[in-house]
Structure 1
Amino acid sequence: MELLLMSDTHVPARAKSLPVELLDLVPRVDVVVHAGDWIDTPTLDLLEERARRLVGVYGNNDGPPLRARLPEVAYADLGGVRFAVVHETGPAQGRERRCAERYPDVDVLVFGHSHIPWDSTAGDRLRLLNPGSPTDRRRQPFCTYMTARVADGRLDDVRLHRLPRAR
């Protein structure tokens, strides 16, 4: 099972649209995961239309129309791996401990908000992934997203992909 992870797309506030590379990948993966801060409903509509399966949440910058359609936290069993998706996890310091306590029955937590890519493990159980932002790099050198694979009940081949800064 192939996964595409993204967050903080901020369309149209930070970019006119999602990068072509990302849009081309959407229909080719099994699941698209979006960890919030969409900003506009047309981006949600587009991903719902193009993705085989979409798992998404709203972020702190998402208004009532998006909050009406998306949960604050989403849970999904993807190939035997238990995922949770949330926008914010709080400060980097203590993140692993806090998230392991908050999500005791989850194998992978996908989050956003900081626009800073993150890949760590809380103890020997919970994998924390932040794909960064494909449209707003902030102080990062590149805009980013992640891909991953689930096989035999395990998360595998997690990759961070760099994009040129959105125009």
Structure 2
Amino acid sequence: MLMVITADTHVPKRARDLPGPLWQAIGDADVVVHAGDWVEPDLLDRLTARSRRLIGVYGNNDGPALRARLPEVARVELAGLKLAVVHETGPRTGREARCARTFGDCDLLVFGHSHIPWDSVAPGGLRLLNPGSPTDRRAQPYATFLTARVTAGRLDRVELHRLPPRPASS
């Protein structure tokens, strides 16, 4: 099962649309995970229409229309892998231990908010992934998203995709 993981898209606030390589990956994916900060419901509608399966949560920049349609935390099982998705996990310091306490019954926690890619393992084996942002890299060298494979309850082939710089506006 191919999974695309994104967050902090901020469309249309930070970009008019998602980058082409991310849309291509979404078209190829079995599951798309979005860890919040969509900004406008239009992107949720378009991702729902183009995805085989979409798992999403709302973020701190998402207003009432998105909060009415998305949960704050999503928990699902994908091919035996127990996945949780949330936008914010709190400060970087102590993140693994804090998340292990809250999501220790899961195999994988996907989160967003920081716009900083993250891949670590918490005490007890919980894997934490943050895809960064495909549209608002902030202080990061690249805009990014993740892909991964889920097979028989295991996550493998996690890959961080660096996106080309957006052309300058004229």
Which digits, 9 at most, give the CA deviation of each residue in 1:60-97, with x for residues without a partner? 00000000000000011011000000000001100000
Instruction: Using the TM superposition, give the Cα deviation of residue 123 of structure 1 relative to its aligned residue in structure 2, in angstroms.
Output: 2.0
Instruction: Using the TM superposition, give the Cα deviation of residue 165 of structure 1 relative to its aligned residue in structure 2, in angstroms.
Output: 3.1
CA distance in 1 between counterparts of 2:145 and 2:27 reads 16
Moved more, 116-125 or 87-96: 116-125
The equivalent residue for 1:11 is 11
CA distance in 2 between counterparts of 1:54 and 1:75 reads 12
Letter in 2 for 1:92: R
The equivalent residue for 2:68 is 68
Q: CA RMSD in A?
A: 0.8
Would you say the 8 A contact 2:100–2:124 is kept in 1?
no
Gapped regions of structure 1 (runs ≥ 5): none
CA distance in 2 between counterparts of 1:110 and 1:57 reads 10
CA distance in 1 between counterparts of 2:103 and 2:150 reads 20
CA distance in 2 between counterparts of 1:21 and 1:131 reads 14
> Given the two structures, how large is their TM-score scaled by the length of structure 1?
0.98
CA distance in 2 between counterparts of 1:165 and 1:44 reads 24
The equivalent residue for 2:114 is 114
- Percent identity among equivalent residues? 63
Q: 1:1-80 alignment to 2 at 5 Å?
A: 1-80=1-80
Gapped regions of structure 2 (runs ≥ 5): none
Letter in 1 for 2:129: L
CA distance in 2 between counterparts of 1:128 and 1:33 reads 14
Letter in 2 for 1:66: L
> Given the two structures, how large is their TM-score scaled by the length of structure 2?
0.96
**Structure 1: which 4+ aligned runs deviate by more than 4 Å?**
none
The equivalent residue for 2:158 is 158
Which digits, 9 at most, give the CA deviation of each residue in 1:89-142, with x for residues without a partner? 001100000000011211100000000000000024100000000000000000
Task: Report how many aligned residue pairs link the two structures.
Answer: 167
Would you say the 8 A contact 2:36–2:87 is kept in 1?
yes
CA distance in 1 between counterparts of 2:165 and 2:82 reads 32
CA distance in 2 between counterparts of 1:27 and 1:69 reads 22
The equivalent residue for 1:98 is 98
Alpha-carbon spacing, 1:124–1:105, altered in 2? closer, same or farther (3 Å):
closer
Q: Secondary structure at the match of 1:22?
A: helix
Q: Secondary structure at the match of 1:69?
A: coil
